[in-house]
Amino acid sequence: MAHLLPHNIPILIVGGGASGYFAALHAAESVPGHQIHIVEKGSQVLTKVRISGGGRCNVTHACFEPRELASHYPRGQKELLGPFHQWQSSDTVSWFMDRGIALKTEPDGRMFPITDLSSTIVDCLENEARSKGIVVHTQKEVVNLWPADSGHWQVQFKDDGTIRAHQCLWAGGGMQSRQVIRMMEAIGHQVIPPIPSLFTFQVNDRLIEGLQGLSIEDVSSHLPWCDIRSHGPLLLTHWGLSGPAILKLSSWAAREIHDREGPFHCHIHWIPWVHQPSENLKHYAGTHGKKHVSNAVPFKLPKRLWHRMLERCKVPANTPWNQLGPRMLEALVDCLTHTVFKVDGKSRHKEEFVTCGGIDLRDVQPKTMESRQTPGLYFAGEALNVDAETGGFNFQAAWTTGHLAGSALARRWLAEHP
């Protein structure tokens, strides 16, 4: 990847991540590969692809209806509906399948390569780029770009001077650099300030202290102060609460949590699938008679968690079920359906470094990802104000926007080279 940057580049793609590579590959279906250059500021390309899903790469999600797929995006739900009609999860699955990469679907809908190795996806993308002759440069940081004549772009690099790009795609990830934000604002784009949008909750509470690793299959999580809810598996960690129930909640409430600037409360319903929990618990007490409450655990809860609930409700562990009075039963039901946790802070989810914010979607053409303000400049991936719940949805947005931008780059090149 130690290539010299030519002074004139027909198609320049800034960012060697999922969306940048996918755009380059789709452009190369119509454009000679050597005309397409990817520049990556880091020493390695496809970094997030390598670490996603714990090194397995959560490629996409088994959600094959565009409207339903779009419903998993807190930012971009409306704007992605059209793009998903052009390229959605089934297209991604087929694209990899056509290249010999089979994907499997897990019970929660996440899709991974059957090898369970992210290197399978990385190798596929890199081999495709190599076979098409796409030129990849690493350790090339763009520090400025501005419009030139004829719809072309002047692009300044940190250590390599300035080059001219006939067309430019910005796929450089989340816009967390103040320099990049100023650069985009200087050419007329509104940048929504980026903030984390997938994170876990830091909680210091006796109820879950020392219970890291416990997983509860289906809970409901709720932030009553902004009335945002989620549900799904909950994972207890050494720092607090995690798992899909929390990650989805953090995604939908990212702005509200950020604006709150301090601790907040999260309510957990441990058994939302139980109708009439009070009556169910009374029935359980009646059918388990002389058994101690610490030994007969209701609702298939983890035993250690149940013991903490007994402790919180001041129910002695050796109390027989048939000796629980109405107040004790009421306290247990309240704990099961309405545990209130004080959240002291947030921790970034290690597998998916996702932000919300970026280029305002109103600034781009939804069918091409081309800038409305500056023709010849395109956007894809996390550079856009698009983000999703955990589960492969963020990668799907990268594949979709990369496909649209790459195809549009190719059409423009062909129009200029009849």
In our burial notation (b when 16+ CB lie closer than 10 A, e otherwise), range 199-216 reads: bbbbbebebbeeeeebeb
| Cβ contact 338:129 at 8 Å | no
Average of per-residue pLDDT across 194-221:
96
> Could you report the per-residue pLDDT of 87-99, keeping only the tens digit for each?
999 999 999 999 9
Query: What's the pLDDT tens digit per position in 45-103?
Result: 999 999 988 899 999 999 999 999 999 999 999 999 999 999 999 999 999 999 999 99
Exposed e or buried b per residue across 163-196, where buried means at least 16 C-beta atoms within 10 angstroms of its C-beta: bbbbbbbbbbbbbbeeebbebbeeeebebbebbb
Choose between 354 and 399: higher pLDDT: 399
CA-CA-CA-CA torsion for 77, 83, 89, 93, nearest 10 degrees? -160
Q: Is 2 a residue whose pLDDT tops 70?
A: no
Domains and CATH numbers, the chain: 8-195+351-416 (3.50.50.60), 199-348 (no CATH)
- HSE-CB at 255 with a 13 A cutoff on CA atoms is 9
Average pLDDT over residues 319-334: 97
Task: State the DSSP code for 320.
Answer: B
Q: Which of the four pLDDT bands, split at 50, 70 and 90, describes residue 135?
A: very high
Residue whose structure tokens are 């549009």 = 408
350: confidence class by pLDDT, cuts 50, 70, 90: low
Q: Using the predicted structure, report yes or no on whether residue 352 has a pLDDT greater than 50.
A: no
Predicted local distance difference test score (pLDDT) of residue 349 = 53
Question: Does residue 265 register a pLDDT over 50?
Answer: yes
Across the chain, mean pLDDT equals: 95
- For residue 109, the tally of other CB atoms under 10 A from its CB is 15
DSSP conformation letters of 178-231: HHHHHHHHHTT--EEEEEE-SEEEEE--TTTTT-TT-EEEEEEEEETTTTEEEE
pTM: 0.92
The DSSP result for 9-26, as a single string, is EEEEEE--SHHHHHHHHH
Q: Is the pLDDT of residue 312 over 80?
A: yes
Average pLDDT over residues 118-130: 99
273 has pLDDT over 50: yes
